Amino acid sequence: MTRPNRVLPTGEIAAVPFRGAWMGNRGILHDAAGQLGPARWRHKNWICCKLAFKGRKRPLMAPRSYTELFFYDEPQALAAGHRPCAECRREDYNRFRGIWERLFGPADAKAIDEVLHKARLAGRPARQCRHLAAAQSMPDGAMILIEGQPALIWQGALHPWTPDLGYGPALPLPDGPATVLTPAPLVAVLTAGYRPIPHHSLTGA
């Protein structure tokens, strides 16, 4: 049975069957039976982690332990508002933080998370923040909505995505404004040179 622990680029946590390439953490979101409660985060340090690190093993959704969340790829983790983990992805985090500090000034992980939390959620109940921008101006790794469907911008092309089929064939970038899923500070980090790791179907790796 597919667990409700996949994070969509639209920010929702869903029970869909794709295999996650990265793991995330927002705190303890499940009960002793492994069922999600109403909360979708318990802290502001939303991170994106490797699936394997130093041989650590842990049962999924263990009682009184954080809920393991999974992402299709890193661009989708960014779209949902997660940043690289400072422990298991130290090199990526340092690269991310270096770009962040060039753009926004000195910051530790806590300060970065404060900014990201304000940029990824708004309203009551809290929902994903989205903004309009010209699709042609978006950097590789950003995600937008096209006719209500998430799509990744990669190598100057658009790749629509669905949970069951993954990324579709490359399409031309649309003209005019698009609804951007990736939080604005992370779009800025991507524009300034942070290169996320997309699903292997786009790289042939």
Residues 180-188: what's their mean pLDDT? 98
- In this prediction, residue 2 has a pLDDT band, given cuts at 50, 70 and 90, of confident
What gap in Å lies between CA 172 and CA 11, rounded to an integer? 25
Strand 47-49 versus strand 83-84 pairing type: parallel
pLDDT recorded at residue 76:
98
> 129 and 119 in contact (C-beta within 8 Å)?
yes
Ranges of each domain in the chain: 6-194
DSSP 66-95: PPPEEESSHHHHHHTT-EE-TTTTHHHHHH
Q: Which two tokens stand for residue 53?
A: 């690190």
Mean pLDDT in residue range 155-182: 95
pLDDT band at 124 (very low <50, low <70, confident <90, very high): confident
- The pTM of this model reads 0.95
Closest among 20, 5, 4, 69 to 197, alpha carbons compared: 20
Half-sphere exposure (CA, 13 Å, Cβ side) for 151? 24
Q: What does the radius of gyration of the chain's CA atoms come to, in whole angstroms? A: 16
Q: What is the pLDDT of residues 125-143, one digit of tens each?
A: 889 999 999 999 999 999 9
Asked if pLDDT for residue 1 goes beyond 70, the answer is no
pLDDT > 70? residue 205? no
Cβ(3)–Cβ(15) below 8 Å: yes
Q: Are 166 and 151 in contact (CB under 8 A)?
A: no
Query: Both tokens of residue 64?
Result: 């009184």
Confidence of residue 81 (pLDDT cuts 50, 70, 90): very high
Average predicted confidence (pLDDT) for the chain: 94
